[in-house]
Each structure stands twice: as structure tokens, then as C-alpha cells.
């Protein structure tokens, strides 16, 4: 037990230690300050701007930035569609895989262009090497960079700067942040045991019968795995994701993956502190998120360590819950990984979340409902500071003053956009399709029937959690699955899940992006107000405490019925021996 808690504590300390270095570096990149990569990348980026016709010195307005995001993402989606629908005759397809059904392709395209990477397919048996590294792997870079560009544009607007240029932010994110780290990390992962090959599956005779052969899937995994975590993509090369020994061979690679998925969203808070010239406020906000995260890790880990009471009664002694887990990671690393991957909106898994105790279901679902612990790539810090804007507004009402944030007045437009972003969009994207899914029949009477079916395989509280987890994962751009749903072909219910989840993916990604950019644009145009003795300071422990209360009241209580009818009710059911 002690060893597991020590592993968790050391991992968290590593995350805290790298935050100021990585956050400071990202701030220098986005502020256009000099770096050691300038001699190489300045000329490369200048050539890219010339060839694309990008006017790199021009700042964009909020709507211009929105249009740039949407136009580029449509182009990315069309390129990916061209690859996936034609993979049957494209190269690097050693097993001769044909293109899957249109609805599977549609869901995959939308899922990967939105940086969600929710998978309704098994990677090694559905998409070719070329589709995975040239199509899906390409999305690992550009979809993650899109989120970071939006995040830094929001920070600029919040601190009174012009929003910048989307194409410049997209380019710098890839060339100066993602690529340098990915190259080094890929070499490390290859040395640690991940394959990186275009050779076909390795075929060996089985131990039971030498006349029977077994095919072991391979592929260009190492570089794919690095960006899966660093870009908070989460899409696995193999069906079981980071529980597969080729995607996550040992404890060292597991540590790399955990740190990789949180490095950027955690450091982005420090990046904000540099932009705002207020690192104290950044560390206070960082501390708020860290406290909530640590509490969630403890709740999850306690549940996994104590195990299932019904199973313990059969064993005659307490035992950790190892069902659905890799023994090489155990209860502690599985609990930490599941909390981190849903907190960062990464979506990678090293254990099956369907097998988590209700504690784990509560934590993973809560992470995706709040979206701020640590949040998505770039957009997570934007959601977090939207909560701060609401906290300023609520506090201003309490003391009878016009609310101000960073010397700029918070008025009707900002409050409406923040409220719309946090209180309306996310619930609609989850609850609307969730309610429809629960009303559908679970399976067709005729196996060849066509139509909409929900494919729920677990009744009661656990089944409810499975359904709402699916839409929360899609709407939060997380991508992990609680599993237990028949959402993959050839199941008749796959059509419903592919189409309905696509709705949540699009609404959960692009509506908030539009609201965030308009909010940032509005803040950037405001004249700063001189600070007086009556100004509410936002860099104090008291204000951060108020923000925590706002998050709890406005965020957590919005979705409390989901948690009460899902994992909380299941916990009581298990405790009663039901």
C-alpha cells in the first residue's frame, strides 16, 4: 500500500517541478521572444508563411480568429476523410484492411479533428498503418495545436493584448513545442520497448499447438504514443490503448505518459501568470486545481485499494480491485492514470474504466463534467478563468461594486458569454442525447434490423453511468470510454452511437471555442481601470476560496443528479450487497 501512495506522490511532485520551466518556455514562444531554436525555425516558419500566404504580422479580431479556426479544421477533416475512405488502396496496409462503414469513418473524423479521439473501433483491425500515422497521427498535432492557439488567444485577450494570429500560433505550437519534445520522447520510448516499424504482424506458433499460428500486431507505435499523450489526444494504436504492452511496456513508460498528458495544461496556468505579470495569481489558481486533483486521486485510489466488498467476502480477506487492470501497473498507477487522463481531457487509458469501483466512476465522470482539472489542451485554462470571471461577478454583486478582472470591467456581455460557455453548452451536449439514448430500445428483435438502438449491456445505475460517460467524454473532448456499450460495428446500435456522439463532439468543441474567443476579444477592447483601495484583488487566497465555491455551486451541482443516479447510487448498492 505504501509503495503505491509513494508512486502517486512522486509523480505529482515531478509535475509541479516541471511547471515553471515548461510554462515559462511556452510564454516565451507565444510572446515571440528569442529562444535557442530561432536560428533553425525562424527561416522555416518564414518560408511556411510565404507559401501559405499568411500575413504573420497581422493580428486577428475575435470573429477573424473564429473563422480561421473553423476553416482550417474543415480542411483538416476533408484531408482525413480522403485518407480513411480510400485506405484500401493506399500504401502501408500490410493486412489489407478496407475502409470501415461510413458512420464509423464520420465519427472518427469528427472525433480526431476535435482533439477528442473517441474510438468506436479497434485500431489494429480497422485502420491501416498509413491511416493511423498519416491521417490520425497528423490530427494529433494539428487538433492539439488548435486548442493551444485558442488558449493563448484567450490569455492575450484577458490580459489586454490583441488576440494574435491563429495561423502563427498554430505553426509555433507545432514547430517549437510539440515537435522538439516529440522527437526526443520518441527516441526514449523506442529505447524503453515501444515498437516503431512498418513491418506487418509477427506470426508465431502457439504454445498449445505448434500447428496453430498467432499474429501479433505491430506498427509505428512509439511516435504515435508520444503525441497521443503530449497532445492530449488519447487515441490508441491498439484497441486496449495504454494497457497494451507495446503502447505502455513498463512503469517507466507509464510515468512518461502520465507526465506527458498533464505537462502542457498544468504549465499553461503558469504561462498565463507570465502574460499577466502576476505569477502569484497563477500559483494560487494552480494550487486550487492541484488540491481538487489530489482529493480526486485519493478518492479514486481508496476505492481501488479497498476493492469490491462482494469479492473480498468470497476471498475471505481485503484485496485491491484488479479486475480490468494490468498487473504491472496495479491499483495505484491505474487510479492515478484514470484520474489524470479524465482530468486533462486526454482520454488514454491503462485500465478499463468500466471496471473501476464507484469511487473511480465518480471521479472520472466529475473530471469531464468540470473540465478544469486540468482541462483540455489550451482550452482548459480558458474554462478555468471563465470560472474566475464568474467569481469576480458574483463577488462584485455581494459587495455592491462593479466587478473588475485584471483592471477591466466585467459587464453583461462577458457574464453572458461565460455563463453560456459553462452552464448551458456542456449540459445540452450531454443530457439531450443521453435522454434520447436511454429512451431507445436496447437491442433489435431481428439481428438484421436497421434503426436506432442504445446497445446498453448493463442495467441499473452502472448502465446509466455508461451512457452519460459516453456523452460527457465526447462533449468534454476527452475520448475515454466507460465501455459496456455496443458502439462498434457490426452491432446495430453502432449507428446511433456514431451519430449521436458526433453531435456532442461538435457542440462540445466549437461552440465553446466561439464563446471563448468572443469573450477574449471583448476583454481585449476594454480600457484598463486604475486600481484603488476598493478594487477586488484576485491574487489572494480569499478570492481563490470564493472561486472554489463558485466552481462547486455552478459547476458541480449542475450535474449532481447524474452523479447521484450513477456512481453514488451504485456505491450504496454495492455497500448493501446488492
> What does the pLDDT read at residue 282?
94
Picking from 251, 256, 221, 215, the residue whose alpha carbon sits closest to that of residue 326 is 251
| Contact (Cβ atoms closer than 8 angstroms) between residue 339 and residue 365 | no
* Residue 214, beta-bridge partner list: 204
Write the pLDDT tens digit of every residue in 184-239.
999 999 999 999 999 999 998 888 888 888 889 999 999 999 999 999 999 999 99
**What is residue 449's predicted lDDT score, i.e. its pLDDT?**
65
How many whole angstroms separate alpha carbon 265 and alpha carbon 364? 17
Under 8 Å between Cβ of 559 and 475: no
Model confidence pLDDT, tens digit, residues 19-44:
999 999 999 999 988 888 888 888 88
Q: Which of 355, 114, 316 has its CA nearest to residue 231?
A: 114
C-alpha cell at 447: 439481428
pLDDT at 411: 84
Angle, helices 2-30 vs 330-343, to 10°: value is 30
C-alpha cell at 570: 451504485
pLDDT digits (tens, 9 = 90+) for 386-420: 888 888 888 877 776 778 887 888 888 888 888 88
Higher-pLDDT residue of 421 and 256 is 256
Pairing type for strands 404-405 and 213-216 reads unpaired
The alpha carbon of 249 is separated from its chain's Cα centroid by a whole number of angstroms, namely: 22
Q: Is 314 exposed, middle or buried (0-12, 13-18, 19+ CB in 10 A)?
A: exposed
Under 8 Å between Cβ of 99 and 109: no
How far is the C-alpha of 412 from the C-alpha of 343, rounded, in Å?
30
Q: Which domain holds residue 435?
A: 2-575
Query: Is the pLDDT reported for residue 70 higher than 80?
Result: yes
Q: Count up the domains in the chain and report the number.
A: 1
Please list, in sequence order, all residues whose beta carbon lies within 8 angstroms of the beta carbon of residue 291, skipping any fewer than 6 positions away: none
Question: Chain-centre distance of CA 275, in angstroms?
Answer: 24
Q: Indicate the helix (H) or strand (E) that contains 254.
A: helix 251-276
Answer yes or no: is pLDDT of 126 > 90.
Answer: yes
- Please write the tens of the pLDDT for every residue from 456-503: 888 789 999 999 999 999 999 999 988 888 888 888 888 999 999 999
Task: Reply yes or no on whether the pLDDT at 552 is more than 60.
Answer: yes
Q: Are 115 and 147 in contact (CB under 8 A)?
A: yes
* Placement of cell 498487473 in the chain: 327
Tell me, rounded to whole angstroms, the distance of Cα 321 from its chain centroid. Answer: 25
| Interior angle at CA 435, CA 430 and CA 441, nearest 5 | 130
Q: In 402-418, which positions are buried (b, 16+ CB within 10 angstroms) versus exposed (e)? A: ebbbbebbbeeebbebb
Average pLDDT over residues 312-324: 86
Please check whether residue 489 is in contact with residue 31, taking contact to mean a CB–CB distance below 8 angstroms: no
Burial category of 170 from C-beta neighbours within 10 Å (exposed 0-12, middle 13-18, buried 19 and up): buried
How many angstroms separate the CA atoms of 153 and 172, rounded? 13
Report whether pLDDT(522) > 70.
Answer: yes
The pLDDT tens digits for 167-186 are 999 999 999 999 999 999 99
Q: State the pLDDT at residue 393.
A: 86
Q: Among the listed ranges 129-143, 217-231, 515-529, which one has the minimum average pLDDT value?
A: 515-529
Amino acid at each position: 500500500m505504501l509503495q503505491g501512495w509513494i508512486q502517486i506522490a512522486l509523480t505529482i511532485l515531478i509535475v509541479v517541478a516541471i511547471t515553471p520551466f515548461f510554462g515559462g518556455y511556452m510564454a516565451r514562444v507565444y510572446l515571440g521572444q528569442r529562444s535557442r531554436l530561432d536560428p533553425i525555425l525562424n527561416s522555416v516558419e518564414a518560408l511556411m508563411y510565404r507559401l501559405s500566404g499568411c500575413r504573420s504580422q497581422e493580428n486577428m479580431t475575435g470573429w477573424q480568429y473564429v473563422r480561421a479556426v473553423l476553416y482550417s479544421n474543415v480542411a483538416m477533416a476533408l484531408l482525413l476523410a480522403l485518407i480513411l475512405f480510400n485506405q484500401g488502396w493506399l500504401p502501408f496496409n500490410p493486412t489489407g484492411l478496407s475502409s470501415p462503414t461510413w458512420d464509423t469513418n464520420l465519427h472518427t473524423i469528427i472525433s480526431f479533428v476535435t482533439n477528442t479521439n473517441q474510438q468506436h473501433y479497434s485500431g489494429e483491425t480497422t485502420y491501416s498503418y498509413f491511416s493511423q500515422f498519416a491521417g490520425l497521427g497528423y490530427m494529433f498535432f494539428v487538433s492539439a495545436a488548435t486548442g493551444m492557439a485558442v488558449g493563448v488567444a484567450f490569455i492575450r485577450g484577458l490580459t489586454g493584448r490583441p488576440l494574435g494570429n491563429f495561423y502563427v500560433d498554430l505553426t509555433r505550437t507545432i514547430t517549437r513545442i510539440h515537435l522538439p519534445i516529440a522527437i526526443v520522447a520518441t527516441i526514449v520510448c523506442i529505447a524503453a520497448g515501444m515498437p516503431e516499424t512498418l513491418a506487418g504482424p509477427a506470426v508465431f506458433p502457439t504454445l498449445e499447438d505448434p500447428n496453430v499460428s498467432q499474429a501479433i500486431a505491430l506498427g509505428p507505435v512509439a511516435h504515435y504514443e508520444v503525441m497521443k499523450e503530449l497532445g492530449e489526444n488519447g487515441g490508441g494504436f491498439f484497441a486496449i490503448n495504454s494497457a497494451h504492452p507495446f503502447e505502455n511496456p513498463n512503469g517507466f513508460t507509464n510515468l512518461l505518459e502520465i507526465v506527458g498528458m498533464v505537462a502542457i495544461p498544468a504549465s499553461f496556468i503558469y504561462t498565463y501568470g507570465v502574460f499577466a505579470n502576476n505569477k502569484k495569481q497563477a500559483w494560487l489558481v494552480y494550487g486550487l486545481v492541484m488540491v481538487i486533483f489530489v482529493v480526486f486521486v485519493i478518492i479514486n485510489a481508496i476505492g481501488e485499494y479497498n476493492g469490491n466488498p462482494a469479492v473480498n467476502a468470497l476471498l475471505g480477506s481485503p484485496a485491491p480491485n484488479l479486475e480490468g487492470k494490468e498487473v504491472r501497473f496495479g491499483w495505484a498507477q491505474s487510479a492515478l492514470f484514470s484520474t489524470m487522463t479524465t482530468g486533462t481531457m486526454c482520454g488514454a487509458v491503462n485500465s478499463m474504466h468500466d471496471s473501476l469501483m464507484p469511487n473511480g466512476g465518480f471521479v472520472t465522470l466529475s473530471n469531464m463534467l468540470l473540465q478544469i482539472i486540468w482541462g483540455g489542451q489550451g482550452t482548459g485554462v480558458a474554462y478555468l478563468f471563465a470560472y474566475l470571471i464568474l467569481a469576480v461577478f458574483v463577488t462584485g454583486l455581494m459587495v455592491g461594486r462593479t466587478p473588475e478582472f485584471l483592471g477591466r470591467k466585467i459587464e453583461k456581455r462577458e457574464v453572458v458569454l461565460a455563463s453560456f460557455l459553462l452552464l448551458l453548452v456542456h449540459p445540452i451536449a450531454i443530457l439531450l442525447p443521453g435522454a434520447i439514448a436511454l429512451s431507445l430500445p436496447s437491442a433489435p428483435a431481428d439481428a438484421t434490423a436497421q434503426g436506432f438502438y442504445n446497445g446498453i449491456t448493463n442495467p441499473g445505475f452502472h448502465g446509466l453511468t455508461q451512457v452519460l460517460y459516453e456523452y460527457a467524454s465526447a462533449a468534454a473532448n476527452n475520448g475515454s470510454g466507460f465501455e459496456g456499450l455496443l458502439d462498434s460495428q457490426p452491432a446495430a446500435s453502432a449507428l446511433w452511437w456514431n451519430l449521436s456522439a458526433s453531435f456532442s463532439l461538435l457542440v462540445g468543441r466549437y461552440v465553446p471555442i466561439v464563446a471563448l474567443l468572443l469573450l477574449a476579444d471583448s476583454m481585449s477592447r476594454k480600457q484598463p481601470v486604475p486600481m484603488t483601495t476598493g478594487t477586488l484583488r484576485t491574487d489572494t487566497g480569499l478570492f481563490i476560496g470564493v472561486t472554489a465555491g463558485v466552481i462547486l455551486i455552478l459547476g458541480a451541482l449542475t450535474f449532481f443528479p447524474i452523479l447521484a443516479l450513477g456512481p453514488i447510487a451504485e456505491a450504496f448498492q454495492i455497500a448493501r450487497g446488492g
